[in-house]
Each structure stands twice: as C-alpha cells, then as structure tokens.
Amino acid sequence: MPRIRSELVDEAAARAIVTAGRRLGARGLVAAAEGNLSVRLDHDRLLVSPTGRRKDELDADDLVVVELATGRTVGTGRPSSDIAIHSAVYLARPDVRAIAHAHVPAALALTLAGEAPDPQVLPETALLLPRVPLVPFGTMGSEELAARIAGALAQDAGDGPPRAAILERHGAIAVGSTLVEAVDALELVDLLCRVWRDARLLAPTRRFGPPFPPPGSDRTSA
C-alpha cells in the first residue's frame, strides 16, 4: 500500500477503508463510483472515501480527512458526496467509529417494489440485526436525508440502537466500532434482502414471519 500523504492520517484507519472497499467490490455490493466508507479518527476528524472513485480500487493517498463539526476538508481531495450522512450519524451515535454505505442491489429492488424485509425471519439477522429500519427516500447528499438516517440509527427500542438501515431506492447503511463490523452488518442486510426477494418470488402471497422466539426469550415456555 502506498504511503499516506499526511502524517495526520492514521495508517490503520486508511488500511481499513481500502480493505473494506475491496471487500464490497468482491461481494458485488458496489458498482462504478457508488458507495462510501469512513472511519472516525478522533473526536474532531473523519477519514472518508473520495467522491467519484471506485471504492474497490482505492489507495491510502485517495482518502480525505474531514472536520466533523464543520465539514471542512483538511488538505486536498474531495470527500464523498454523502459526507453529510456520515457526519450526522457520528454526531448522533458517539459509539460509532466506522460507517459503510452501498447501493445494495437487492435492497434497491425491494424498496422499488414497496417491500421492507423483516430481519426477524432469519435466525442470524434476528440475532445480529434485530431491527433494520427503512428510511424514506430523500435527495442524495441532502441535510434532510442525513438527519433522517441519523435519527433512524439513533432510535433505541430497549435492545440498543440499530446497526443498519435500509434506504429507500438508495441501498443500505451500516455502522460499527470498526469497518469490519460495519461491512459485516451490510453483508447481512444484503443476505436478508436477497432471501426476502427470492422467497417473495417463490411464494408471492405468503406472509413471512419469525418461526422462533426473539433472542433472549425462553424457547421452552408455552
């Protein structure tokens, strides 16, 4: 990997973004210049993928440092056009250290068809992503959409705030303490959407529901 342009940038954070971009590409979750990734460097700064670049072909020198409070770029480069979403989520969720967003094809298809998959129908998503809110469509890059997404990811229904959300006609977004965690969650959203889509094709009129009690419940009780 090339050396990082600025001494202000954490090499581990840069490596995480480059690796995550390649992983998203290998899974078919990003195309052309779609998607964006970020890592929170400290209280005040983010490291963000650039606009207009394939996320599976990034080098460390392509990444952009952005001030969280102001959105001002530190040094050269242009951050993702969705920087407002990243900033809003980090401000709403101090526990979040990394964000991954991709135009997940199956999520795009389901929301275009008016479908919102229920994570409770699969054991793994029921356990790891018990809630995946659907965020209504908004203008990409807008402050309004950023506020909606941050609000959805900050809602705590007693089991902790969500790790991911589906964005109407805009894919999905996931958060974590690391980019590995965030991309893991994004892959689970993709799995849920693909299974829901396939099941809907096989059984168009069937109502899908959880076949087992929610995590933490007593499975032996009547």
pLDDT for the residue 216: 56
For residue 217, is it within any domain? no
For residue 4, is it within any domain? no
Cα distances (Å, whole numbers) of residue 134 to 23, 99, 168 = 24, 17, 7
pLDDT for the residue 4: 41
For residue 220, is it within any domain? no
150 touches 86 (CB < 8 A): no
For residue 141, is it within any domain? yes
For residue 153, is it within any domain? yes
pLDDT for the residue 33: 94
Token pair listed for 163: 């790790």
60 touches 67 (CB < 8 A): no
pLDDT under 70 in the chain at which residues? 1-9, 211-222
Amino acid at residue number 5: R
Cα distances (Å, whole numbers) of residue 66 to 14, 77, 87, 91 = 13, 10, 9, 14
pLDDT for the residue 135: 98
pLDDT for the residue 213: 57
Q: Which helix (H) or strand (E) holds 20?
A: helix 11-26
Structural domain containing residue 98: 11-202
For residue 215, is it within any domain? no
This prediction has a pTM of 0.90
For residue 221, is it within any domain? no
Token pair listed for 208: 């899908």
Cα distances (Å, whole numbers) of residue 108 to 70, 103, 167, 170 = 31, 7, 8, 6
Token pair listed for 167: 């964005």
Looking at the 3D structure of the chain, how many domains does it have? 1
163 touches 174 (CB < 8 A): yes
Cα distances (Å, whole numbers) of residue 33 to 21, 108, 162, 180 = 11, 16, 26, 21
For residue 1, is it within any domain? no
The CA radius of gyration of the chain, in Å to the nearest whole number, is 18
pLDDT for the residue 60: 92
Amino acid at residue number 109: A
pLDDT for the residue 6: 46
Closest CA to 20 of 71, 76, 52, 63: 63
Any idea what the CATH number is for the domain that residue 134 is in?
A: 3.40.225.10
Q: 41 by DSSP, 3-state: which?
A: coil
pLDDT for the residue 214: 54
